[in-house]
Structure formats: structure tokens, C-alpha cells
Structure 1
């Protein structure tokens, strides 16, 4: 498979791998001195086909119809909806199950996405895309890009890690040829820091199960494969720093104040969510956002037990030595600096395509 993506000197090359498409991806696409090689989609919060439609519409809104979008994995490697329901019968209800979510266990402010099958693509709030995904699989595209630009490609993964696991199994050189992996996933020891009801509701996710997080729990086997792969550098964005953040109405008003297409698209976005993926994008764009970090060896529990999908971690020297990799774990961030960066990127003019200026 040959790619039409061409290299530009002096730019940071990146692939965005996600189960949706929103502000985090726009932050990277609109950043200066960044070359987005492509977008790959995976099932998680949305089924892969719906996530792909979101990504296609997202690159249209960003004024970047040239960016290739590749559909990826529809199902986790091992985990299934039936297995998840059996797990809940044995060990208790999960707060969030992504595409397998039929109802909330208790009342919550967040709306419940409609439950449907993997081939259903509902009409999108921002309009349906006119673009089509590129032929081929996300895993093959990922492999092609790291071979085309060895040790130059960063991967920002903000959904389940199924595509990356498939790429690693198809090509054992995959992770070693990448520059780095930045992933939003996992949970270590988060603390509710905001006093409002939104923070209280999201604390349900970690209050009694502090090592559980959806992106990892949805496909634990894939996560373990990826986290044991020979990346040169891995940065983990767990739930922990997100508890200081929230997309409040005031922040959304600030983000959507400009006249850019991205800002206009944000005006209907629901508020009341932590900035999970935005932190991952922000840390990659501006490492100075990080105010506290540590090094840990990370893996995932893949045993079918009450801790299935939970994060395992060790301080250096205590790891079992079965392929675990050292992660740079982000613990705290400068929230104001992140919000300022988000606002700057949303308000920035559209980046030109092939030297042609774009409006707004």
C-alpha cells in the first residue's frame, strides 16, 4: 500500500488514533510545525464506523480534507459484550461500557448515547461527511508510516489500543520504528479535586476501583500487547490529572468565541466532562503543561477476575521483567496553561493545504 502523504522538513509527524473526533484532534491538526500523517479510528465510545464518520467530518471542519482517515478495529481482541455482562453479574456494574452501554446505573447529568449495532451510523450533530475513508486498514497504515519515516512518527492514542496491538502483532518492528507513544488510558490513584456535582459524578469511575479506566478496560489484551512493545518512549496520561479539569460552560464559551469553523462547531458540544483527550494532545504539543510526573513500569491485568482490565504498575526495579516498559506517567498539569493552549489552537486560522490559504 502506497501513501499519498508527503514529508515536510522541520515538522513533528503524528498519527491520531481515536474512538471519536473532537477538540483534542483539532488542537493537533491546527498546531504549527505539526504534520498529521493521518487519522485512524477504533471502536470504544463509538463503533468504528461511526467514529470514522466523526473523523471524516472533523477533518472537513478543520479545513483539512487532504488528511487520510482509515477505519480500524470494530471489536476488541478478546473482550465481548456478552463477556462484559457476565463479568458484571459476577463482580458488579461498570460505570461506563462505551458502545455496550444500554442505561446508566444511577441518574447522571450526562446524556446516554443511543445503543445500536456496529453497522449503524447515526446522523452527526455537525452534519454528515462528504469525504470517504481511505481503502485499507488502520493497522496497515500505521505500519506503513513508521517504515516510511523511521523514528519520526509520534502516535497519540485516545481510545482503546486495538489498532496498535494489531499493528504490533502484524509487524514486530512497528513499535520500535515509531518515535513515541502518547496514550490516554489507565488510572492509578486519582482524587476528586473539584467541589462540584460533575466532579462527584465522575468520581464514580475511580472511587471504589481506582485502577479501572474505560479505554484500557474495553480491550485489556490489546493494551497489554501495546504496553509490552519496544517503544522508544511511552507517555501515559491516566485519569489522575483529569480530575482537576472540566469543560465548563464558561470554558466552552471562551473556546467557541472566535469565528473559525472549529470554534463554531464547538458551540453545541455538551459540557460537564473532564478534559481527558485534550490533556494528551496538550502534553504532546507543550510538555511544559506537565507539573508533576513519575516513571513507572505499566501493564494490564488480563485475568478474568474482579480486576480484569485494571492497571498494574511498579516503580523501577520492582517490575517482574516480563516485557513491561517504562512509562512517563503524567500526574498533574497546569490547567490554565492547557486551557490557554486549547483556546489558541481553536482560534488559530486554518492551516493551508498545499500552500493554498484557507478562510477563517
Structure 2
């Protein structure tokens, strides 16, 4: 028998959860009022961050645009398509974007390492870990190779549109209404902005996971210590920015109405633990089964914070207004986060952002549990 989630076990309910209950009661009648969202990501596996938005009845996911990052674009596309199959959401388009950074290359990265030291993580250019780690061994392969997926290969097909064009088309279709949550390198957004200088200004807002300010290890676990390697000696060096620094700089200088930055900093207090996965899998849905079989634990909740902050900004417990940019000089600082308080920025197009420094971890986890245990949001015409 399918076991239903027992939400009464989690008594702390945020204003977001109250809104969720009202939306559920209202049903399809409020479909036109749902929040419009595009997810731009390097989906490397079944991804709770994406699923939080897809499972929320408050949200109309217009599409998922894919970029290379943690793994190559085509492999990420396959993961996204398979995820949509598992939750029965075939109507959500998966749109391939950039396969490579604007300027950075594997050879240039190797040259940089020969001058300035080894990077902890290089995404699909990673051939082996520098030191012993609990993380899965890298699966190094060519950009156009898609290995068999552990969760099963998809039968759905990706859109034949280009991600940058899709992004431009959708923000122009719904001017001032589309939020973009970007949780991979920012190449797709930079290309869209270069193609259409009004792109960023036409969107509602940008929320992105990338960069780092001053992260510190907050959890006492083996996994937390492993991920702390990335910022012990280089606290401003984060993968999403480092993969494509030029794209990050272009995107962050664009004239968005509102920008929210999720740096590494708040993620150090979080971890996808086996206990959290068990709570997220309590309902016994096909998604729960996929989580139990294929969701790799131990990772910080980098991208999940971005989605959660959008759904319920009150989970933010500390933030700072900062101007943010990225170092694009081929030096030891290539790809590092640059930030300034008001009056100290150089004035070269930097935009003021809300930088999230800490969150309520318990409320984040409860939100994830609530959404992952909901009945699957079926992609029927009555919902749209």
C-alpha cells in the first residue's frame, strides 16, 4: 500500500506552506496566477532543486534550459528528460544550451593549473581526484558521449530550440513575469543577453547559485570536510564561476530588475543526508523510489537553497547587499568572486545584489520533505 506523508510530524509551518495549502484547495482555477519560472541548470542527476519547483502547484515551469557544468550538456539533457519521465511531466520542454564556456577551455585550465596549482573540481574535464575522497570517481568522456544513466535512459526528446533563444522568447512572451533560477554556469544567460540587450531587463528577476564570499565548514561530517577543501585556501573560488568566468561577468553586469545570489556560504550548514532522503521518500511515489535507488547523498544543498529562497524568502536569516563581479583576467584570480559594498565598486557595470549568507536549515529541509512527498503534479491540460 502506498504510504502517504504525515506532515503533522513537522509542526513548524512557514507562510510559504500556508500559501501552498491555499493553492492546493483552489486547484486549477488559479493556474493563470501561478509563478512563471525557467530553470537553467547543469542537471547531473535526479535533482531535488528542480523537483521542488516542478512539484509546487504554485509554479508554472516554462522550461528547463541546460548547460555544461558538473557534467557535459548532452548528459545533463538526458538526466533532465529522465527526471521529467519519472514524475510524468513530459509537457515541460528541456532545451539544450551551451556545450562549452565562452572562452575557457580544458587546455587553458590545465595551463592555469601548471602555473597556479590544482583545482579541486573541473566538471567534465576532471580525470581523477587529486587526493582520496568519498566522492564518486570522475567519468571522463567526450562532450558528445552520453553514458547510460543509473536511473534509466529517457525516451523523451529534447527541444530543437537553442536555450538562449528560448530564454529570450519566454521573457518577451511574459514581460516582467519570468523568474530565472540559474544553478549551473551562466553561459546560456550570457548568450541570451548578448543576443538581446533587453533580455535581463524584460525578466522579473534572477536567482543564481554561484560564487563564494567567505564560506566556513559548519557541519561535522566526512562529506562536509571533503567539500570544505574547495574553500580552505581559495575561499573566493567556486566552480560555476570558474567554469565560465566571462559568462558570469556578462550575466551579472546585465540590467536585471532584481538579483539574488546564493554563494557557497549558506550551503556549508546543509547536507543531503540519508536521513533527509528517507524523509523525502516517505510517500512511496515513483519519485520516492527513484530517490531511494539513485540519489547520491553527502552533497551540500547548493541549488536547493536557490529554489527554496524563491519559494519562501523568509528562510533567509542573513543577507548582505553587495555589488558582485567575476575576475576574468588570466591570473591566479581567474574565476574568483569579486564583491564590494556600496560606494566601493569600480563602476564598470556591476549590479547591486542580495547576497544570501545564511538560511534556516530546518525550514529548508521541511520544505523539501513536504514537496517531495506530495502527489506528483501531473502534466494534464487542466493544470495549464
TM-score by shorter chain over 0.5 = yes
Measured against aligned partners, the alpha-carbon deviations of 1:52-106 in whole angstroms (never above 9, x if no partner) come to 1111111111211000110000000000000000000000000000000000000
TM-score with structure 1 setting the length:
0.96
Q: Which has the higher helix share?
A: 2
**Number of the residue aligned with 1:17:** 40
What is the CA-CA distance between 1:181 and the residue it aligns to? 0.3
**Number of the residue aligned with 1:233:** 258
Conserved 8 A contact 2:90-2:156: yes
Conserved 8 A contact 2:211-2:236: yes
What is the CA-CA distance between 1:168 and the residue it aligns to? 0.3
What is the CA-CA distance between 1:356 and the residue it aligns to? 5.7
Conserved 8 A contact 2:211-2:263: yes
Q: Tell me how far apart the structure 2 counterparts of residues 356 and 146 of structure 1 sit (CA, whole Å).
A: 24
CA RMSD of aligned residues (A): 1.2
Conserved 8 A contact 1:26-1:262: no
**Number of the residue aligned with 2:215:** 190
Conserved 8 A contact 2:268-2:300: yes
Give SS of 1:9's match. Answer: helix
What is the CA-CA distance between 1:201 and the residue it aligns to? 1.3
Show the 5 A alignment for 1:1-360.
8-20=31-43, 22-267=47-292, 268-355=294-381
What is the CA-CA distance between 1:125 and the residue it aligns to? 1.1
What is the CA-CA distance between 1:353 and the residue it aligns to? 2.4
**Number of the residue aligned with 1:4:** none
Q: Tell me how far apart the structure 2 counterparts of residues 331 and 122 of structure 1 sit (CA, whole Å).
A: 37
Conserved 8 A contact 2:129-2:138: no
What is the CA-CA distance between 1:43 and the residue it aligns to? 0.3
Measured against aligned partners, the alpha-carbon deviations of 1:312-353 in whole angstroms (never above 9, x if no partner) come to 000111111110001100000000000000001100111132
Q: Tell me how far apart the structure 2 counterparts of residues 63 and 317 of structure 1 sit (CA, whole Å).
A: 50
Count of matched residue pairs: 351
Uncovered stretches (5+) of structure 1, i.e. residues with no partner: 1-6
Conserved 8 A contact 1:15-1:155: yes
Uncovered stretches (5+) of structure 2, i.e. residues with no partner: 1-29
Give SS of 2:95's match. Answer: strand
Conserved 8 A contact 2:324-2:352: yes
Give SS of 1:351's match. Answer: coil
Measured against aligned partners, the alpha-carbon deviations of 1:157-178 in whole angstroms (never above 9, x if no partner) come to 0000000000000000000000
Conserved 8 A contact 2:128-2:138: no
Q: Tell me how far apart the structure 2 counterparts of residues 209 and 256 of structure 1 sit (CA, whole Å).
A: 36
Measured against aligned partners, the alpha-carbon deviations of 1:180-229 in whole angstroms (never above 9, x if no partner) come to 00000000000111122221111110010000100010000000000000
Give SS of 1:27's match. Answer: helix
Question: Which structure would you say has the larger RCO, counting Cα contacts within 8 Å and 6 or more residues apart?
Answer: 2
TM-score with structure 2 setting the length:
0.90
Deviation >6 Å, runs of 4+:
none
Measured against aligned partners, the alpha-carbon deviations of 1:122-143 in whole angstroms (never above 9, x if no partner) come to 1111111111011110000000
What is the CA-CA distance between 1:46 and the residue it aligns to? 1.1
Give SS of 2:371's match. Answer: helix
